[in-house]
Amino acid sequence: MSLGIAEFDRVLGGGLVPGSLVLLGGEPGIGKSTLLLQVCSHVARDHGTVVYVSGEESPQQVRLRAERLGVSGERILLLAETDLDAILQHLEATAPMLVVVDSIQTMSLDGVTGAPGSLSQVRECTVALMRFAKQRTVSVLLAGHVTKEGAIAGPGTLEHIVDVVLYMEGERHSAYRLVRGVKNRFGSTDELGVFEMVANGLVEVENASLVFTGGKGHAIGSVIVPVLEGSRPLLVEIQALTTPAGFGPPRRVANGFDVNRLLLIAAVLTKRARMRLSDQDVIVNVTGGLRIAEPAADLGVALAIVSSLRDRPITPGLVVFGELGLGGEVRGVSQPVRRLGEAGRLGFAGCVLPSESKLGASDGQGLQLLKVSSLSQAVARAFERDGGPSGEPAD
Ligand code: TYD
Ligand code: MG
């Protein structure tokens, strides 16, 4: 069943499977209720009756939000209730297409120990909703608050029970919201949906690459990398800043990137490209609040660091991808063609990529392909056009 929001459908693996139980987790205030109400609106319009169970907000509050979102409320039944037995009775009587429970932490069952939100209540309520979903073949969407540690009411308890776990993330100061698959019994888990929170709700961001590259400026210390989020290629800006370290060991800080990976890259830069980092603090930042887990970003991180260290931008119009080995070798990564496609689509001129990338004749997308097999070669290629003294040996 399509939920009428393509970004959400994609994260679900193409839509909602009837009878499935889906958990949408996220910190309070991130936008879960907003997104779920928008989903209700579309499903009510396209498919049939929807029940929205609100255990957190009064009907007046939900109504205010609905008005703000332009949700008419037709075919949406609002139930302000936290007693799950009562809720299930209502659901049996209405036979809806979709049920939204906001949030699982407010629900409770008679006969189960603990206050609402306690581990036992959350678990038993989820099990009861799962049973309902399967028996009646009705899909249920659950909102769940995430604790500071990133777990929904106790490590993993809920995740094991439900069919699909999605997380909604975003940075406080940014309007962008990411919905990410964490578990999916029906599809891939590494899909990503991108939204922007505006005055009347969440809107889909189709051209997400433009968000994460902030246009496509090539400042000093900035490199654009085509990463893959599930099946989706995304251009992401990686920034690095090197500054003289004070006394003590130099610091390595990474935002949106694995700090251990950064340590590895710094070591390879030092040993294999003769970059002097031992007296430099290094900060790496992925812009737009994205987290990159792909080794394909290694070479981009390395070149961003070199750019900051040299105080020179890399050649304008270039994107960079490739995995770095400890020997300073640049290794091939998956799906080079999709990465090049996204760069070409957004008007980039060239790409530094692993020489072992297998490409067909027309796969270059009109981009100038700078194939490299080592880090020092990549450094030479990425800064080639503006020449100037470098002091680093090319191989
Ligand atoms: P909400 O959906 O209530 O978050 P959650 O259910 O995850 O706790 O979203 C709350 C935030 O979203 C709130 O700070 C206001 C903002 N917001 C908008 O910017 N525009 C909107 O149209 C709506 C409904 C909320
Ligand atoms: Mg809410």
Distance of alpha carbon 242 from alpha carbon 46, whole angstroms: 53
114-130 average pLDDT score: 93
Look at residue 390 in the predicted model and tell me its pLDDT: 44
How many angstroms separate the alpha carbon of residue 34 from the centre of ligand 1? 6
Look at residue 393 in the predicted model and tell me its pLDDT: 43
The ligand 1 atom nearest the CA atom of 197: 19
Look at residue 372 in the predicted model and tell me its pLDDT: 97
Contact call for residues 284 and 239 (beta carbons, < 8 A): yes
364-393 average pLDDT score: 78
How many angstroms separate the alpha carbon of residue 206 from the centre of ligand 2? 25
Look at residue 171 in the predicted model and tell me its pLDDT: 73
203-231 burial code (b ≥16 CB/10 A, e <16):
eebeebbebbbeebebebbbbbbbbbbbe
Distance of alpha carbon 173 from alpha carbon 225, whole angstroms: 23
Look at residue 289 in the predicted model and tell me its pLDDT: 76
Length of the chain: 395
Give the number of other CB atoms < 10 A from CB of residue 13: 18
Look at residue 271 in the predicted model and tell me its pLDDT: 96
The residues, any chain, with a CB within 8 Å of residue 372's CB and separated by 6 or more, are: 322, 330, 352, 353, 354, 355, 378, 381
CA-atom Rg of the chain in angstroms: 24
253-277 burial code (b ≥16 CB/10 A, e <16):
ebebbbeebbebbbebbeebbebeb
Distance of alpha carbon 54 from alpha carbon 34, whole angstroms: 12
How many angstroms separate the alpha carbon of residue 61 from the centre of ligand 2? 11
Look at residue 395 in the predicted model and tell me its pLDDT: 41
Q: Is 65 in the pocket of ligand 1 (CB under 6 A)?
A: yes
Q: Is 200 in the pocket of ligand 1 (CB under 6 A)?
A: yes
Reported as a single tens digit per residue, the pLDDT across 25-52 is 998 899 999 999 999 999 999 999 999 9
Distance of alpha carbon 252 from alpha carbon 311, whole angstroms: 18
pLDDT band at 65 (very low <50, low <70, confident <90, very high): very high
Residue 215: pLDDT over 80? no
pLDDT band at 156 (very low <50, low <70, confident <90, very high): low
Reported as a single tens digit per residue, the pLDDT across 327-346 is 999 999 999 999 998 898 88
From the number of C-beta atoms within 10 Å of its C-beta (0-12, 13-18, 19+), residue 71 rates as buried
Residue 377: pLDDT over 90? yes
Residue 152: pLDDT over 80? no
* Substitution site in 30, 32, 34, 142 for ligand 1 pocket (most atoms within 8 Å of beta carbon): 34
Q: Which residue has the tokens 């540690």?
A: 149
Look at residue 345 in the predicted model and tell me its pLDDT: 81
298-312 average pLDDT score: 97
Residue 157: pLDDT over 90? no
More confident residue, 19 or 233: 19
Look at residue 248 in the predicted model and tell me its pLDDT: 85
Look at residue 217 in the predicted model and tell me its pLDDT: 58
Look at residue 247 in the predicted model and tell me its pLDDT: 85
Look at residue 394 in the predicted model and tell me its pLDDT: 40
Q: Is 145 in the pocket of ligand 1 (CB under 6 A)?
A: no
Residue 214: pLDDT over 70? no
Look at residue 385 in the predicted model and tell me its pLDDT: 57
Q: Average pLDDT over the chain, rounded to whole? A: 90
DSSP for 224-257, please give it: EEEEEETTEEEEEEEEEEEEE--SSSPPEEEESB
248-277 average pLDDT score: 95
0.95 cut: is pTM over it?
A: no
Residue 60: pLDDT over 60? yes
More confident residue, 196 or 288: 196
More confident residue, 193 or 346: 193
Residue 391: pLDDT over 60? no
Q: Is 172 in the pocket of ligand 1 (CB under 6 A)?
A: no
More confident residue, 270 or 160: 270
* Alpha-carbon dihedral angle through residues 180, 183, 186, 192, given to the nearest 10 degrees: 10
Q: Is 375 helix (H, G, I), strand (E, B) or coil?
A: helix
Contact call for residues 64 and 166 (beta carbons, < 8 A): no
How many angstroms separate the alpha carbon of residue 183 from the centre of ligand 1? 25
The ligand 1 atom nearest the CA atom of 65: 24
Q: Is 217 in the pocket of ligand 1 (CB under 6 A)?
A: no
Residue 56: pLDDT over 70? yes
In the chain, % of residues over pLDDT 90: 71
How many angstroms separate the alpha carbon of residue 44 from the centre of ligand 2? 20
The ligand 1 atom nearest the CA atom of 34: 2
In three-state form (DSSP H/G/I as H, E/B as E, the rest C), the secondary structure along 322-343 is CEECCCCEEECCCCHHHHHHHH
Q: What ligand has the least distance to the C-alpha of 67?
A: 1
Reported as a single tens digit per residue, the pLDDT across 69-104 is 999 889 999 999 999 999 999 999 998 999 999 999
Q: Is 201 in the pocket of ligand 1 (CB under 6 A)?
A: yes
